Amino acid sequence: MENQNEKIYAMPRIGDPAPEFKAVTTQGPIHFPSDYKGNWVILFSHPADFTPVCTSEFMTFAVLEDKFAEVNCKLVGLSIDGLYSHIAWLRTIKEKIQYKGMKDVEVKFPLIEDITMEVANKYGMVQPGESETKAVRAVFFIDPKGVIRTIIYYPLSLGRNFDELYRVVVALQAADAFGVAMPADWRPGDDVIVPTAGSCGVAKERMESKDEMKCYDWFFCTKPLAEEKVWSKLKKK
Ligand code: BEZ
């Protein structure tokens, strides 16, 4: 029989408001997402403290924290471990681990304790086919209004691609700021996609226009967006 105390949560989806929670973290209590209003935030889970892939990821997140902060994006981690385990693991990382040129790495962003799995379950971070007791490597990109904008999941055995995490934050912000969409593998400086024209007349005009817009067909037009323009809009002064 199903445990009557077990709450069933729907998986949050892109476009949903980020589920609310209060939690204890290595940087004190947080109320999510309201404490992060006005900022982008990456909420991510890792399977367990004191494990190697997670250690490589935490060191990388910590080293990149300032780079994410420059584009107004904060980091919040979570695993199904207690606060004292988190503290001991982060201290070990700082005091003992040298990896790929990274050493003396201090994790300054909050790491949520979630021994009850309450937050992990709310966010669909526990995926029983992979593990019933550990969170997968989930990454939720949440915008300044508290809306989930992108979700990426990785399994236990595969560390995240940090170039991609940063690319997602920059691309989402640039798409919002300039009212465009981003093509495959977009990076700042690449052409962007102009939203599809609403009428045949507009589409025809576009196809024939001699300005900087380039149309491959009526439904597929791009235009340049200079790299400096992207960074001057996104980077905090
Ligand atoms: C790791 O981070 O190395 C790891 C964690 C849980 C299961 C497998 C690997």
pLDDT score, position 1: 43
* Band of pLDDT at residue 190, cut at 50, 70 and 90: very high
* 54 annotated active-site: yes
Residue 187 Cα to chain centre, angstroms:
16
Are residue 122 and residue 209 in the same domain, yes or no?
no
pLDDT score, position 198: 66
Measure 9 CA to ligand 1 centroid, in angstroms: 25
Taking CB atoms within 8 Å and a gap of at least 24, the contacts of 18-24 are 18/43, 18/140, 18/142, 18/146, 18/147, 18/148, 19/122, 19/123, 21/118, 21/119, 21/122, 23/78, 23/112, 23/113, 23/114, 23/119, 24/83, 24/112, 24/113
pLDDT score, position 2: 47
Measure 164 CA to ligand 1 centroid, in angstroms: 21
Give the count of domains, the chain. Answer: 2
52 lines ligand 1 (CB under 6 A): yes
pTM of the entire structure? Answer: 0.94
Residue 16 lies in a domain: no
Measure 129 CA to ligand 1 centroid, in angstroms: 15
131 lines ligand 1 (CB under 6 A): no
Q: What is the pLDDT of residues 99-123, one digit of tens each?
A: 999 999 999 999 999 999 999 999 9
Q: What is the pLDDT of residues 14-23, one digit of tens each?
A: 999 999 999 9
Query: Which positions ≥6 away from 14 have C-beta within 8 Å?
Result: 148, 149, 150, 151
Among the atoms of ligand 1, which is closest to the Cα of residue 159? 2
Residue type for position 114:
D
Mean pLDDT of the chain, nearest integer = 94
3-state secondary structure at position 148: strand
Distances (CA, A) of 7 to 2, 79, 117, 148, 192: 10, 19, 11, 22, 43
CATH number at residue 216: 3.30.1020.10
pLDDT score, position 235: 81
Are residue 86 and residue 140 in the same domain, yes or no?
yes
What is the maximum alpha-carbon separation in the chain?
Answer: 68
Evaluate whether 3 touches 121 at the Cβ level (below 8 Å): no
Residue 96 lies in a domain: yes
51 lines ligand 1 (CB under 6 A): yes
- Tell me what percent of the residues of the chain surpass a pLDDT of 70: 90
Q: What is the pLDDT of residues 157-173, one digit of tens each?
A: 999 999 999 999 999 99
Are residue 56 and residue 150 in the same domain, yes or no?
yes
Residue 142 lies in a domain: yes
Residue whose pair of structure tokens reads 């939203």 in the numeric block: 195
Are residue 83 and residue 199 in the same domain, yes or no?
no
Q: What is the pLDDT of residues 192-229, one digit of tens each?
A: 999 886 666 666 666 666 579 999 999 999 999 999 99
Q: What is the pLDDT of residues 73-96, one digit of tens each?
A: 999 999 999 999 999 999 999 999
53 lines ligand 1 (CB under 6 A): yes
Range of the domain at 125: 21-160
Residue that finishes a domain, picked among 160, 190, 218: 160
Residue 86: φ, ψ to 5°: -55, -50
pLDDT score, position 23: 98
Residue 11 lies in a domain: no
CATH number at residue 100: 3.40.30.10
- Tell me what percent of the residues of the chain surpass a pLDDT of 90: 87
Question: Stretch 41-46: mean pLDDT, rounded?
Answer: 98
pLDDT top residue among 50 and 5: 50
Are residue 60 and residue 130 in the same domain, yes or no?
yes
pLDDT score, position 164: 98
Are residue 44 and residue 72 in the same domain, yes or no?
yes
Residue 139 tokens read as 């990454």
pLDDT score, position 196: 80
Burial string for 193-205 (b: 16+ CB within 10 Å, else e) reads ebeebeeeeebee
Question: Stretch 143-156: mean pLDDT, rounded?
Answer: 98
